[in-house]
Structure 1
């Protein structure tokens, strides 16, 4: 059973951090480059992928935190990797339940126009910038988790 838990740990960490990197730095830019004449569709698809990645991140974070707590007990609370996971979980929750719904609402409020062609352009751009910074921080923290010595969260 311990080997299964270890394997699930590795899969969860890989899925979460790898997914963040692939969606954010490969798929989303490719969507906008490929659909350059239809930025609204590209944005819709990218937004949906970021939302799915958020849910995956929440599930992976819960498993990883439980794994660390069950494996290390209260000593896990003194390890920086535990708090790195907590921070990544918080960033995921803020993005998924705070920023992403706000961006979606701004897009809906701009209809029938594209949000970047509406009076909501500056507000959308500002919140999109916040979202991008949160995502960048999350991916860098994930990179730190993956590259830390030994088993990153054990």
Structure 2
């Protein structure tokens, strides 16, 4: 049984590192894509795929970390700032992937055959993209704080 507990204790830092590393690397990669690909639609398409992948990493990682905290600490997990930071990050992932991203996709689809930025939907798209960007940045900073705090 001790070996199983040791394995679980070893998995959680790896899961956290994967999640936070993926967040930061995807943010950096998206910036590089837009700086180096002249076709902004193509850069956006590739970046969107990367953000979707990192969202699913976050959904799985956040769920694992929350369950692990609850299993290890029971109800006292609710008194830990680490638990609440993980929960907030997990909620941000869910809102981004299942709330904001579908809205952005709908705006893009509504603008077809034009680029959304050349359509009447440009202002709404910019607003929601800005909200998504701020939420992502908050998630990245909270993740960095988690990594530092849990070391």
Runs of 4+ that moved beyond 6 A:
none
Partner of residue 59, structure 2: 58
TM-score, normalised by the number of residues in structure 1: 0.93
TM-score, normalised by the number of residues in structure 2: 0.95
Any idea what the Cα deviations from partners look like across 1:49-107, whole Å, max 9, x if unmatched? Answer: 11111111000001001111111111111111111111111111100100011111111
**Aligned equivalents of 1:9, 1:64: Cα separation in 2:** 6
Q: Point out where structure 1 has 5 or more consecutive residues left out of the alignment.
A: none
RMSD: 1.0
Partner of residue 105, structure 1: 106
Partner of residue 137, structure 1: 138
**Aligned equivalents of 1:7, 1:31: Cα separation in 2:** 34
Partner of residue 7, structure 1: 10
Q: Point out where structure 2 has 5 or more consecutive residues left out of the alignment.
A: none
Aligned length: 148
Partner of residue 114, structure 1: 115
